[in-house]
Structure 1
């Protein structure tokens, strides 16, 4: 992939899903402190009742600009992913005037590589770029 000319990348549509927390991380937080700083406010992380909430989004972008951003309202499976592509990827490709020459880049998540999605992309004439297996 690295040997591709710069011009190749102008037609690539990149996409992914991401989670945004309303208040801090929902993972483990590490703090470096001395023994006597255990309860110092600068060494603690405040908590929020019920976790504070989060939002999941799907989005895409190209060299020409950004595509649609979609708020995800349920856990994604291959059927929901197909609906997201239908309602957001296709309009984004049209809006950015990419046409049939565009290449779609998504990761190796099983729902992305399912037969349903491969067949849908093929029917729509959208080529994908293979993602490394690691």
Structure 2
């Protein structure tokens, strides 16, 4: 979800590896479609798959800036 439009929504049981595969196959194509080469900031909560060292490395390797997110504030999550 962004000012540029909606991307696909999926519900899954996940771990860091599955989460990274989802970002590779869904999030990256969606951001390419909406933003092209423009910068964007990615938001995710503090789920274990999102905060895993391998996920942080994946995001860094793909040049994705992640919004710092406060712990224990689910009311800020739009989903």
Shorter-chain-normalised TM-score: which range? 0.7 to 0.9
Aligned to 1:116, which of 49, 54, 64? 54
Give deviations 1:56-90, integer Å, cap 9, x for gaps: xxxxx111100123463xx2111100000000110
Corresponding position of 1:106 = 44
* Structure with bigger gyration radius: 1
Unaligned runs of 5+ in 1: 1-60
Inter-partner Cα distance in structure 2 for 1:107 and 1:71: 15
More helix by share: 2
Inter-partner Cα distance in structure 2 for 1:70 and 1:96: 18
Normalised by the size of structure 1, how large is the TM-score?
Answer: 0.50
> Size of the alignment, in residue pairs?
72
Inter-partner Cα distance in structure 1 for 2:21 and 2:10: 11
Give deviations 1:23-77, integer Å, cap 9, x for gaps: xxxxxxxxxxxxxxxxxxxxxxxxxxxxxxxxxxxxxx111100123463xx211
Inter-partner Cα distance in structure 2 for 1:129 and 1:100: 16
Give deviations 1:85-113, integer Å, cap 9, x for gaps: 00011001011125351110000011100
Higher relative contact order (CA 8 A, sep 6+): 2
Inter-partner Cα distance in structure 2 for 1:88 and 1:131: 22
Unaligned runs of 5+ in 2: 73-79
